[in-house]
Structure 1
């Protein structure tokens, strides 16, 4: 027995001596190679590759750009069960060892000796941090040795908590998710704070094999890996018997959750991405910027719906263009489903295939696998489209419209399913705050996934009569009044650009009405009045004045056609110009980025737009911030701005936009616009809080139809938007400035009404422009043709 004890002591001493020798060898190599190792201190300032996220002003996620989904979290915010799950899966002695687990290394060395190659690395969490941040992923002895040396240095420089935090934010966990917070969102649509124990164990099981153990692509393997981790947690005393049993029996609840987009504003998201790419380059996708736009989620959602509904209504008014394609009726149900799964839904228009046609109903298959019935009320509208001006007869039975195998679009409403179609017509909608130019809503087309061309900012179209208010504003600045008489009479101009060299402009009604007051000429949109008005003030004078509203002078034609809106403008330019009419005559510039923060919440950009009439910041009610905001330059006499607002109110009260009276508000003003051959339809309207424009037309200019005008195609979209946008907002109309007076005039001559005149009307003037003569003088010959332009 004594001999055995002596031998045991000898072996113990030899083993201890061996360990000491190994440690001394490692220490010697460490101090020899330490100067060549990377600087571990850089880990304190590591910047994780984090995608850019774009938000509305009220914090709704609009978009996420970047290859890697990651949301860094601090150690203090990680649930203890999640920490323990990673310990059980990767490194149970993490909080005790010095960065190296000798037992694990011994196992790895044995595998290398017996098999001739590395099978498992025996890596601790610290060693994985060293590998992930500083080393390649090659499986060589040299890389492993550097990994060990770096782990020792990391342990010396950083706390255990700091090391663990680096690890959980760096690791790849499948499905483009890097770090535990991103993984919780991708697999479960929630934060790590909301995960169940089973879900935590599932995520902790992913670093070893993110693809093979993936709970979405390989759920059975994922459950096996999860349960092994739970068993380890139980054996290590991290969880109770009950917790272990419940978590082990839990079903796999993982499914893919894309970026949790809360607000559909893809056109604005692309505007942000494009602008910031010019500033940050490729770093934009990895540096974790958080961009807050000026959009208001309620207004953006309303704008999307209003524009889509308006374009669908136009499409319905002009008849059914037929199915998108025709499939072989002999296809099996599985083949039909495969066809449907390859089709995209757009704006609530679901692809479907007609399976049966009855007398006044059809059966159709959806890509969800459901078969639905479309009753006659959802079919009877579908007269055959022939041209933009004609349709076929009303259908009498479903077979007049569809046949089995037709690939169609269906739209669901509270009344059931309705036959629909993707509109060929397009449109744009923009709403902004007229006080500072902040874009509150913007949609550049029917659907971004259907076509990414942003018509709000990229489509240069003629605005037609929607441009006339700027001509009239120039006239007021050059001595005209709302009561000035303009002769609405035929006129012929020489124009070498047209056949016959003669231009004979006409009103849309093909009639002429003689001497017309300026106010009436605007609200009735008389073309001849606008032409003579522009000729009276001079083209150069008008162009020089109008460019002050933000229009590019290079795209303002220097001829009389300018009065009819032949300039090339975008919807965003038009609505920005109208902002000056709404805010009392100040020029503001549109903008859509309010602020930018880095991934740590540090402010790196904050918009400080020029502001009109600002007594408080119009977006934040921050009076301190408002005192720092620059004042927008004044481009209109405040009295003339008031007169223009007043005249444009009459467009709604008694002119071409009387449909807007349905809103039952007295603070609204605006102007319709229609170009030649009805190729473009516009309406732009406002109060002092909100200005918005709607445009409708084909991408390749073509007639909309003889009955389609600004008041029929564009105005309903604007009304639909404003009904929701201003639903709870108090009226905010123009404030009459000093130097404006209201007097009674004769509606025929624009002169002062005589005492007792029964048909007298009120008009507003700058004080110095009040007519000096009475209408009674007209009969005595004191009013001449010199009074009419």
Structure 2
């Protein structure tokens, strides 16, 4: 028996010696084949393209890897300790390898062929930068050797810095600085102990511990990490207790930016790709736009409110869908799975959430909403869908148990039933003095549709186009006090080049002779057609090109006067800027500067300033008098409510409504802000028989301008030389000497 034991002992020793020899041999063979450490000694990560507002607030990020490279000193101590407590609490003591952990992993590997655990932070850096995730003994050997090599060449702090910037943490975020913004909307140095522990739990399994989609699981891991931090004396018992009780506010998907400017960010991205190609997604460029945070938020909110107000006026279209509710307890896995699956294809739109009706009566709905709450809706919250709660409601309108509906917060912490709107709208504003884009909202929800109505939608501008025709008439000697007949008119096919035409005013009524000023203020179609007949549509087509409009989009017919061509909201904003700035052409621009990853400015805009006479496109006298006509619209005309609600006398603009109310516009300005609002359906159809630009788009414009002009001083106009006040109105003597147009009174 002793011989057997001796034999086994010698065999074991021999095996260990042989294993050691093999290990040394493997190290000798593998060491020369180790990769260069250049990837970590000269760290050049893929850093995404980032878009910022003029106030340096991030509004967009593009790239496969969302990363914000941060020096180790900028990471808060609590975050570093949270990471060390769960990943490698002996990090500052070992030399790259924790031998106890490696021995345990090696035994598992020899037994089952796959290694497990025990990777130090240095080993993880080696794996993340140089190796695959394949779990084999060979890969583990290379990982150990690389860890030693890294420790010989880099300081501990540098290794930890590499780890904390490179590690994948879900939601396309790489590194803890990026994760802090994406999950909590904070700079990394603002993280609390509780938030730090939550993020420290992500490296092991970013999908499984993602707090956005698996908050409960993420919370369990966070609490374990907090316990580790306490046990390791990284935090005090009081810190631990406070962190355990802290309510974590995790940001939802798509809400990582504080400013809602998706259309702005996307347009900036397109411009950058045009300028620099597809490599812009990995070069770490920072793009600063001209958009101001306050302006952008005002535009976003104004457009959303305008669309929802319209939608609430035009009736409920019925639930979005229906789901069979299982006969199970509300808190059961079966019920939660059924509800989650029902809502997965009905994504939220900012404050508008989807929900499943669990109980329905004529006076109350109990709805499980996408945020995970059960809400009770009654009273005013049901007013929009009152008819849909009746047992006699049409089947497609009826709200019942299992209906998928939309809810949004209302006053006093209550909810109301709404619906996702079908109508679209856009708002764009410029600085008329420079052309800088101040705000852009291209639609109701960028995630629902990326088509940018502010820049891409070619729509009929309707009566909002009339000021350009009136400006053309001024230079033909037709002054504000000139009389024009607002009477029925029949135009034969010979003149129209097509069918006979009988234009009509919006209300179908006529008022007879009136001044040109009154005709524009009251948006009289018949008077406007007489004006373009007098000056000639060919001349009018040529004249409007001064404002940047394309001739081919505005054929030289009489209908040009009523806005029968097509223009984008951006083009209209540029055109109105010329009235606002006294007659100077402006080139709209969005990007003010571009900075590379090293902080070097590689592009900076240099817009030409208004006042340079080489930029003049409109006679300053014409611009002044046309501006006075547009001020009249806000004083006594179709936009008089703007002056009252804004309590300002220095604004001007024009409403616009096309045939059958397919498009509703308001274009207006202050000397410092030119803004245009459009509303309509993507596939043109009537907005409603009584809908107008003054009723739909003007309120959106007012809501935006309330904030945009909050700090703007009152800016009275300065009369240029060559304009006189005669018989109660402005005249341009040089132009009045030109031929008269008796046909205006016919």
The normalised TM-score by structure 1 is 0.77
Q: Which moved more, 1:264-273 or 1:663-672?
A: 264-273
Cα 1:85–1:363 change in 2 (3 A) is closer
Deviation of 1:47 (Å)? 2.4
Q: CA deviation at 1:485?
A: 4.0
1:212-223 correspondence runs (5 A): 216=215, 218-219=217-218, 222=221
Query: 2:638 aligned with 1:665, yes or no?
Result: no
- SS where residue 729 of structure 2 aligns? strand
Within a 5 Å distance, the mapping from 1:400-439 to structure 2 comes to 404-405=400-401, 407-414=404-411, 417-439=415-437
Partner Cα distance (1:558, 1:440) in 2: 33
CA-to-partner distance for each residue in 1:582-603, whole Å, 9 max, x for gaps? 1111111222333333445443
- Quick one: which of 48, 57, 79 aligns to 1:60? 57
SS where residue 301 of structure 1 aligns?
helix
> Which residue of the partner structure matches residue 620 of structure 1?
none
Q: Aligned equivalents of 2:111 and 2:708: distance in 1?
A: 72
Structure 2 SS opposite 1:365? strand
Q: How many residues align?
A: 711
Say which SS state the counterpart of residue 473 (structure 2) adopts: helix
2:383 corresponds in structure 1 to 379
Q: Following TM superposition, by how much is the alpha carbon of 1:138 offset from its aligned partner in structure 2, in angstroms?
A: 3.6
1:417-462 per-residue CA deviation (whole Å, 9 max, x = no partner) reads 5554433332222222211222222222233344433222222111
Native 8 Å contact 1:61 1:260 kept in 2 = no
What is the alpha-carbon distance in structure 1 between the residues aligned to residue 37 and residue 399 of structure 2?
Answer: 71
Deviations 1:55-112 (A, max 9, x none): 3322334333344343221122234555455556555665566656677767766766
Q: 1:159-206: CA deviations, max 9, x gaps?
A: 443333222211234554422323445566555444555765665565
Partner of 2:284: 288
Change (3 A) 1:209 1:723: closer
What is the DSSP-based 3-state SS (H/G/I as helix, E as strand, rest coil) of the residue aligned with 1:379? Answer: helix
Question: Unmatched 5+ residue regions in structure 2?
Answer: 1-16
CA distance in 1, matches of 2:679, 2:247: 46
Matches of 2:111 and 2:322 in 1, distance apart?
62
Q: Which whole-Å CA distance do the structure 2 matches of 1:453 and 1:675 have between them?
A: 22
**1:688 CA displacement:** 0.4
| Distance in structure 2 (CA, Å) of the matches to 1:125 and 1:603 | 36
Are 1:701 and 2:684 counterparts?
A: yes
State which drifts further: 491-500 or 712-721.
491-500
Query: Rg larger in 1 or in 2?
Result: 1
Give the CA RMSD over aligned residues: 4.4
**8 Å Cα contact 1:490-1:512 kept in structure 2:** yes
Q: Which residue of the partner structure matches residue 472 of structure 1?
A: 470
Q: How does 1:203-214 map to 2 (within 5 A)?
A: 207=203
Residue 659 of structure 2: aligned partner: 676
Are the counterparts in 1 of residues 474 and 622 from structure 2 also a CA contact under 8 Å? yes
Query: Which residue pairs with 2:621 in the alignment?
Result: 639
- 1:92-144 per-residue CA deviation (whole Å, 9 max, x = no partner) reads 665566656677767766766x5484635875544443332233334456555
What is the DSSP-based 3-state SS (H/G/I as helix, E as strand, rest coil) of the residue aligned with 2:656? strand
8 Å contact kept, 1:214–1:221 = no
1:319-354 CA distance string (max 9 Å, x none): 444444566799767468457644344454454538
Measured in 2, the distance between the counterparts of 1:249 and 1:489 equals 77
- The verdict on how the C-alpha distance between 1:546 and 1:332 changes in structure 2, with shifts beyond 3 A counting, is farther
Alignment-derived partner of residue 69 in structure 2? 72
Relative distance call for 1:492 and 1:45 in structure 2 (3 A) is farther
Distance in 2, Cα, partners of 1:377 & 1:325:
20
CA offset at residue 45 of structure 1? Answer: 3.6
Cα offset, 1:631, TM superposition: 7.9
2:534, 2:741 within 8 Å by CA — same for their partners in 1? no
Answer yes or no: is 1:297 the counterpart of 2:301. Answer: no
- Confirm or deny that 1:716 pairs with 2:715: no
Cα offsets for 1:605-638 (capped at 9, x unmatched): 333323324xxxxxxxxxxxxxxxx887110111
- Alpha-carbon distance in 2 for matches of 1:371, 1:82: 36
- With 597-606 and 672-681 compared, the bigger mean Cα shift is at 597-606
Alpha-carbon deviation of 1:694?
1.8
Find the counterpart in structure 2 of residue 763 from structure 1: 729
Structure 1: state its 5+ residue gaps: 1-16, 385-394, 614-629, 745-761, 774-782
Cα offset, 1:466, TM superposition: 0.8
2:242, 2:639 → 1: CA distance?
Answer: 67
CA contact (8 A) 2:263 2:452 kept: yes
Do 1:434 and 1:579's aligned partners in 2 also have CA atoms closer than 8 Å?
A: yes
Which of 524, 531, 534 is residue 532 of structure 2 equivalent to?
A: 534
Query: How far 1:567 moved relative to its partner?
Result: 1.0
Q: Corresponding residue for 2:359?
A: 355
**Contact in 1 for aligned 2:390/2:398 (Cα 8 Å):** no
Check the 8 A contact 1:231/1:244 in 2, yes or no. Answer: no
* Offset at residue 670 of structure 1 (A): 0.9
SS in structure 1 opposite 2:67? coil
Instruction: Say whether 1:463 aligns with 2:429.
Output: no
Alignment partner, residue 446 of structure 2: 448
CA contact (8 A) 1:354 1:408 kept: no
Answering whether residue 321 of structure 2 is matched by residue 317 of structure 1, we say no
User: Hey, what's the Cα distance between the residues in 2 that align with 1:211 and 1:695?
Assistant: 42
Q: Which residue of the partner structure matches residue 563 of structure 1?
A: 561
| Residues 86 and 200 in structure 2, CA contact (< 8 A), matched pair in contact too | yes
Q: CA deviation at 1:495?
A: 3.9
The alpha-carbon deviation at position 686 of structure 1 amounts to 1.1
Q: Secondary structure at the match of 1:470?
A: helix
Deviation at 1:673, TM superposition (A): 1.2
User: Is the 8 Å Cα contact of residues 357 and 398 (structure 1) preserved in structure 2?
Assistant: no
Q: 2:429–2:440: 8 Å Cα contact kept in structure 1? A: yes
Q: Are the aligned partners of 1:329 and 1:404 in contact in 2 as well (CA < 8 Å)?
A: no
Q: Are the equivalent residues in 2 in contact too, given 1:71–1:181 (CA < 8 A)?
A: yes
Corresponding residue for residue 166 of structure 1: 162
Seen in structure 2, the aligned counterparts of structure 1 residues 515 and 281 have a Cα distance that, compared at 3 Å, is same
CA 1:412–1:499 in 2, change beyond 3 Å: closer, same or farther?
farther
| Equivalent position SS for 2:60 | strand
Change (3 A) 1:731 1:632: farther
Question: d(CA) in 2 for partners of 1:638 and 1:587?
Answer: 12
Task: Report the Cα offset of residue 152 of structure 1.
Answer: 5.4
Counterpart Cα distance in 2 of 1:440 and 1:338: 40
1:526–1:93 Cα change, 3 Å: closer
Q: Given the superposition, is the C-alpha separation of residues 644 and 420 from structure 1 closer, same or farther in structure 2, using an over 3 Å criterion? A: same
Cα deviation 1:355-408 (Å, max 9, x = unaligned): 3434xx333424254342422685289689xxxxxxxxxx99997996644554
Q: Give, in angstroms, the shift of residue 52 of structure 1.
A: 3.5
Equivalent residue for 2:304, pick from 305, 308, 312 = 308
1:267 to 260, 263, 270: 263
Task: Give the TM-score normalised by structure 2.
Answer: 0.81
Equivalent residue of 2:46, what SS? coil
Q: Distance in 2 between matches of 1:221 and 1:637?
A: 71
